[in-house]
RNA sequence: GUGGGUGUAGCUCAGCUUGGUUAGAGCGCUAGGUUGUGGCCCUAGAGGUCGCGGGUUCAAGUCCCGUCACUCACCCCA
């Protein structure tokens, strides 16, 4: 057999885990500040949930989902994103009936069958949040500033740009789409092959085509934000005003397009130039029609998701010094009697809340100290025959190399005191 | 799905152009230099199906073909 992980899937190794914890804890702390609670969801849903939510012609649904038949023949899919599952749970658990405002965050692995590359995996972690119920621009602004605060808390905003736009609603977006098709139709022959296809499937996509000829034509095309209906226009203006007052730095980018069909009105992206062609670190927006589309009551909502692996890459760039593990105390010992005493002492210290490691076997003191050094221990306790006989424990400060002894028979508390005093 | 690059020690890589004895380095690991003392230094050691399969050749890590994987880019996205 081949001992390897599946293509596009990867391990987060122990030496990197601390960095992940740091980022996750920062996000959770900010969520709590805004009154969001965690929702833990299944990784599998009926395929229908995603097909209905994301739109049947989107890339994700058309070719990127891990879909398979359950034993009874029903079609299941490993979640490619989190929002659809939240919406399903919101409806299934009647959350709308419990409160006019529901604030949820989630974290976990998502699955998309794409070609892997830097910052892009088939199994990847996202952290996201959804604010369901309110329609008012203040809720868009709160969610966006919350995202920005998380990224600020992790110390990586120097790499980031926040871009916002509005996609309009069920009234003005179809009208705009027609305008756009009318604009591109005469230019059809000059568009690239993909865009000629997009003209039928998703004309908005032409706007962010990277082919030179297309982007040139697109730059003259009518813009969604100029075509918003009165309600959408004032909504967008109020979101911007609220962000201004919160001091969140953003730029309006009318070219933002969504790969998912459920978005309406406000959309935003947080991008970086540090990750090769994967420039999106977080993205989200308003989706006023989704809950209803899935069979729930009409429920406006805003949400976002960010890619953990991409966040981690930026965090590594910002803080390259490493986030290794650290321990307070290492216990080295020589001799059978000393080993038993070391084990008891380790238990005692851990009981006092002091992180402690010890040598298990009978290695030389030199090699034990080497291991102590690598463990990052601040103090190494040395117990040998001499110490046993005299009822003491030698204490070596690993920064200064200075040594002395505890005088007490039971040295745990004294050691705790020394660590606390430093 | 399409194109480029790369697969040699645990890790990062040299060697391939121009085929030729036992395939190297740095880091890491183990031990010694100190009867019980880490980091720096010195010495020694362990560790390799040269991705896999086939072909050419007296001879292949090196050349050719295939294949798989990784990677970057396109596409799309977090």
Decide: CB of A79 under 7 A of nucleic strand B.
no
Is residue A42 one of the residues assigned to a domain? yes
State which of A318, A343, A366 marks the end of a domain: A318
Q: Which tops the pLDDT comparison, A219 or A78?
A: A78
Å from the A95 CA to the B8 C1': 59
CATH of the domain at A98: 3.30.930.10
User: Which of the listed residues A288, A318, A348 is the one where a domain comes to its end?
Assistant: A318
A156 plus A263 within the same structural domain: yes
Residue A398 CA distance to nucleotide B40 C1' (Å) = 15
Q: In terms of domains, do A269 and A391 share one?
A: no
Nucleotide nearest to A399 (CA to C1'): B39
Is residue A312 domain-shared with residue A336, that is, in the same domain? no
Q: Which of A13-27, A135-149, A231-245 has the lowest mean pLDDT?
A: A13-27
Residue A290 placed within a domain: yes
A378 nearest nucleotide via C1' and CA = B38
**Gap from A214 CA to B3 C1', Å:** 21
Residue A281 lies in a domain: yes
Q: Which nucleotide shows the minimum CA-to-C1' distance to residue A376? A: B38
Pick A379 or A190 by higher pLDDT: A379
Phi, psi at residue A12, to the nearest 5°?
-95, 115
pLDDT at A140: 97
Which of the two residues, A130 and A206, has the higher pLDDT score?
A130
Which CATH number goes with the domain that contains A379? Answer: 3.40.50.800
Q: Are residues A347 and A301 in the same domain?
A: no
Q: Beta strand pairing status for A403-406 and A356-358? A: unpaired
For A361-376, what is the mean pLDDT? 90
Question: Is strand B within 7 Å of residue A116 (CB)?
Answer: yes
pLDDT tens digits for range A51-92:
999 887 788 887 899 999 999 999 999 999 999 999 999 999
Judged by C1' against the alpha carbon of A269, the nearest nucleotide is: B78
The whole-number pLDDT of residue A230 equals 94
Residue A422 has pLDDT above 70, yes or no: no
- Is residue A119 a part of any domain in this protein? yes
The residue lying closest to nucleotide B52, measuring its CA against C1', is: A2
Nucleotide nearest to A374 (CA to C1'): B38
At residue A284, does pLDDT exceed 90?
yes
Q: In a 10 Å sphere around its CB, with 0-12 CB exposed, 13-18 middle and 19+ buried, how is residue A263 labelled?
A: buried
Report the pLDDT value the prediction gives residue A127, as an integer from 0 to 100.
97
Q: Which nucleotide is nearest to A338 (CA to C1')?
A: B36
pLDDT confidence of residue A342: 93
**CA atom of A257 to C1′ atom of B13, Å:** 43
**C-alpha dihedral sign at A339, A342, A347, A353:** negative
CA of A389 to C1' of B32 (A): 30
Better pLDDT: A219 or A322: A219
Of A21, A18, A13, A25, nearest in space to A322 by CA? A18
CA of A371: nearest nucleotide by C1' is: B38
**pLDDT tens per residue across span A89-138:** 999 999 999 999 999 999 999 999 998 888 899 999 999 999 999 999 99
Asked if A403 and A395 touch (Cβ cutoff 8 Å), the reply is: yes
**A310 strand B contact, CB < 7 Å:** yes
- Same structural domain for residues A377 and A265? no
What pLDDT, on a 0 to 100 scale, did the predictor assign at position A290? 94
* Contact (Cβ atoms closer than 8 angstroms) between residue A378 and residue A328: yes
Domain end, chosen from A254, A283, A318, is at A318
- Asked if residue A218 is part of any domain, the answer here is no
**Do A67 and A117 reside in the same domain of the chain?**
yes
State mean pLDDT over A157-164.
Answer: 94
Does residue A6 lie in a domain region? no
Determine whether the distance from the CB of A126 to the nearest atom of strand B is below 7 Å: yes
Whether residue A200 lies inside any domain: the answer is no
Query: Does the C-beta of A57 come within 7 A of strand B?
Result: no
A408: pLDDT strictly greater than 90: no
Total domain count for chain A? 2
- Does one domain contain both A265 and A412? no
pLDDT, tens only, A327-361: 899 999 999 999 999 999 999 999 988 999 999 88
Q: Give the torsion sign (CA, A315, A316, A319, A325).
A: positive
A165 and A54 assigned to the same domain: yes
Distant-in-sequence contacts of A366-375, Cβ < 8 A, 24+ apart: A368/A330, A368/A332, A368/A333, A369/A332, A369/A396, A371/A330, A372/A330, A372/A332, A372/A398, A373/A398, A375/A325, A375/A326, A375/A327, A375/A330
Residue A196: CB less than 7 A from any atom in strand B:
no
Residue A35: per-residue pLDDT: 97
Which range is most confident: A213-227, A335-349, A404-418? A335-349
Q: List strand B contacts in A 151-170 (CB < 7 A).
A: none
Chain A 346-405 residues whose Cβ is under 7 Å from strand B: 363-367, 369-374, 382, 384-387, 394, 396-401, 403
The span from the CA of A78 to the CA of A46, in Å, is 9
Distance in Å from B78's C1' to A338's CA comes to 53
pLDDT at A200 over 80: no
Q: Tell me, yes or no, whether A18 and A157 share the same domain.
A: yes
A314 and A333 share a domain? no
Looking at strand B, which nucleotides approach a protein CB closer than 7 A?
1-3, 29-32, 34, 36-39, 69-78
Average pLDDT taken over every residue of chain A: 90
Q: Identify whether residues A263 and A310 lie together within a single domain.
A: yes
**A305 contact to strand B (CB, 7 A limit):** yes
Instruction: Specify if A8 maps to a domain.
Output: no
Highest mean pLDDT: which of A2-6, A158-162, A186-190? A158-162
pLDDT at A203: 80
Are A58 and A201 in contact by the 8 Å Cβ rule? The answer is: no
| Whether residue A201 has pLDDT greater than 80 | no
Q: Is the pLDDT of residue A309 over 60?
A: yes
Residue A107, CB, less than 7 Å from strand B? no
Tell me, what's the pLDDT at A166?
94
Exposed e or buried b per residue across A99-120, where buried means at least 16 C-beta atoms within 10 angstroms of its C-beta: eeebbbbbbbebbbbbebeebb
pLDDT of residue A1: 62
Question: What integer pLDDT is reported at residue A416 of this predicted model?
Answer: 76
Q: Which domain holds residue A374?
A: 329-421
Using the CA of A123, which nucleotide's C1' is the nearest one? B78
Residues A371 and A400 in one domain: yes
Q: Whole-number Å distance, CA A370 to C1' B73?
A: 45
Predicted confidence at residue A421, as pLDDT, reads: 54
């Amino acid at each position: 057999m081949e001992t390897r992980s599946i293509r596009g899937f990867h391990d987060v190794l122990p030496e990197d885990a601390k960095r992940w914890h740091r980022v996750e804890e920062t996000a959770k702390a900010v969520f709590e500040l805004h009154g969001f609670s965690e929702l833990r969801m299944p990784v599998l849903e009926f395929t229908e949930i995603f097909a209905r939510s994301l739109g049947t012609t989107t890339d994700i649904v058309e070719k990127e989902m891990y879909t398979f038949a359950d034993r009874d023949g029903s079609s299941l899919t490993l979640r490619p994103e989190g929002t659809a599952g939240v919406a399903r749970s919101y409806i299934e658990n009647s959350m709308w009936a419990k409160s006019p405002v529901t604030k949820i965050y989630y974290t976990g692995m998502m699955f998309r069958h794409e070609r892997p590359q830097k910052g892009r995996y088939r199994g990847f972690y996202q952290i996201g949040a959804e604010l369901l119920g309110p329609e008012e621009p203040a809720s868009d602004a709160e969610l966006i500033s919350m995202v920005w605060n998380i990224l600020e808390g992790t110390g990586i905003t120097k790499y980031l740009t926040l871009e916002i736009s509005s996609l309009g609603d069920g009234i003005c977006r179809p009208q705009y789409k027609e305008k756009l098709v009318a604009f591109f139709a005469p230019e059809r022959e000059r568009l690239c092959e993909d865009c000629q296809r997009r003209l039928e499937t998703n004309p908005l996509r032409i706007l962010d085509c990277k082919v030179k000829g297309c982007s040139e034509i697109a730059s003259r095309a009518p813009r969604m934000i100029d075509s918003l209906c009165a309600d959408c226009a004032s909504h967008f203006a109020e979101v911007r005003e609220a962000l201004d007052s919160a001091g969140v730095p953003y730029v309006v980018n009318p070219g933002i397009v969504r790969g998912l069909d459920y978005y309406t009105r406000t959309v935003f992206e947080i991008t970086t130039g540090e990750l090769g062609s994967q420039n999106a670190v977080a993205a989200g927006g308003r989706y006023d029609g989704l809950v209803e589309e899935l069979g729930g009551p009409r429920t406006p909502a805003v949400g976002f998701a960010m890619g953990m692996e991409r966040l981690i890459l930026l965090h590594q760039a910002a803080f390259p010094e490493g986030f290794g593990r650290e321990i307070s105390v290492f216990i080295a010992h020589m001799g059978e009697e000393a080993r038993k005493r070391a084990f008891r002492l380790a238990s005692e210290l851990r009981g006092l809340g002091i992180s402690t490691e010890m040598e298990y076997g009978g290695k030389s003191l030199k090699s034990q100290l080497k291991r102590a050094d690598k463990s990052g221990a601040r103090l190494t306790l040395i117990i040998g025959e001499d110490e046993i006989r005299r009822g003491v424990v030698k204490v070596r400060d690993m920064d200064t190399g200075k040594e002395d002894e505890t005088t007490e028979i039971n040295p745990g508390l004294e050691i705790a005191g020394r660590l606390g005093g430093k």
